[in-house]
Amino acid sequence: MEKFSSHSIYVHTVLDPERRGRELRRYLLKLPKNYDAFTVKRKGFMVLMNSS
């Protein structure tokens, strides 16, 4: 939990396996010349933020 301008903000990282599969397939079908391991590792993740 982080404080931002007197409001509490909650940040969650979520891995969606189905989304990861779609994003990896799309990335690999492009046959990238410069394979980037960091780009591959972050496929399928999303960041959710709320101020409840």
Q: Which residue(s) pair with 12 in the sheet?
A: 48
pLDDT per residue as tens digits for the range 13-49: 999 999 999 999 998 888 778 888 888 899 999 999 9
How far lies 11's CA from each of 8, 14, 48, in Å? 10, 10, 6
CA–CA gap between residue 18 and residue 44 (Å, rounded) = 8
SS (H, E, C) 14-52: EECHHHHHHHHHHHHHCCCCCCCHHHHHCCCEEEEEECC
Which pLDDT tens digit goes with each residue over 27-37? 888 877 888 88
- pTM of this prediction? 0.64
